[in-house]
Amino acid sequence: MKILITGANGFIGKNLIAELKNRKYTDIYEYSRDSDPSLLDEYCREANFVFHLAGINRPKDENEFMEGNFGFTSKLLATLQKYQNTCPVMISSSIQADLDNPYGRSKKAVENLLFDYKSVAGAKILIYRFPNVFGKWCRPNYNSAVATFCHNIAQELPITVNDPSVKMNLVYVDDVLNEMINALHGIENSVGEYCEVPVVHSTTLGEIVRLIYSFKSSREERSIPNMSDEFTKKLYSTYLSYLPEEQFSYDLKMNVDHRGSFTEFIKTPDRGQVSVNISKPGITKGNHWHHTKNEKFLVVSGTGVIRFRKIDSDEIINYYVSGDKLEVVDIPTGYTHNIENLGSSDMVTIMWANEHFDPEKPDTYYLEV
């Protein structure tokens, strides 16, 4: 299948091209404002499907809205007709098409042009009135609040929020891509004369800002946002794409002594925390038990033994562990336990606990195994 994409260098265009290549589409005609105009003839003659994503949304003069949106669409459709190419045409319109402003009027004119083209040429048309689209590669400080907030907060630049209660409907770029590729295969989500992206997230400007600031502070807090919330998960992925390249990494606080070290890695609001424990050769750590707190130990390097003793019993239970055979050992409540490095090199253990450490309520009681 030969696919023509106008606006190929734009936010949605770049994401769409990358995903089409992921899905092994090879005949992709990329057309942008920097392309040789003569290529439009070749592409319109050969295309089996058109994703028309090109448009003007931040011109220097308001007249450019109509010229860039309506004018170029007219040229595109005329070129298709020139070669009697009645392949399907998908167009990215906007929820502003019903608003009486220069941008909205230009988008509405484009929609009407598509309806006329359908009646004359008999071609299938798909019109999507996208709300705010967010995701990686969107240009900040342009026409996307999410991109601007993610970029500026990641870069420690100021942001402006006039009214945090403003309601916003947003769609994530990957959901847009899934719908567009469904449309490519003729299984678009049609609603009357228009098509829609099935997954729309409704929130407020203030909530978006709060979440993004929480993402920034999560590094210092060693926390992970609530990934069970779809919008939070998508916004977090978007935020990470705006991190300065020299700031991809961040330090953790290592608690070091003669025995080795203990370092908290990740905390989650509902799934406990993960830590890294390093034990020197011959060192034993632990010798304590818990009422409710429970843990999982995974030795990833070195060799050792994890010992257990029920607090009202004399029987000692041994579990020998090694980085050569990865296995998880559960630490049940009511058993005092320790872990000893039996090897000649450092032993590294990944430890998960079902709750964050609370120094006011540690639920940890010393008792030799």
| Active centre residues (catalytic) | 103
Cβ atoms of 45 and 207 within 8 Å: the answer is no
Among residues 217, 308, 222, the alpha carbon closest in space to that of 263 is found at 222
Give the integer Cα–Cα distance in Å for 195 and 174: 16
Task: Tell me the CA distances in angstroms from 126 to 24, 89, 123, 193, 234, one per residue in order.
Answer: 23, 6, 10, 8, 26
Among residues 173, 175, 235, the alpha carbon closest in space to that of 208 is found at 235
Concatenated DSSP letters for 230-245?
A: HHHHHHHHHHHTTS-G
Among residues 368, 350, 362, the alpha carbon closest in space to that of 285 is found at 368
Burial of 278 (0-12, 13-18, 19+ CB in 10 A): buried
Rg (the chain; Cα; Å): 29
Upper half-sphere CA count for residue 219 (Cβ side, 13 Å): 13
Cβ atoms of 307 and 318 within 8 Å: the answer is yes
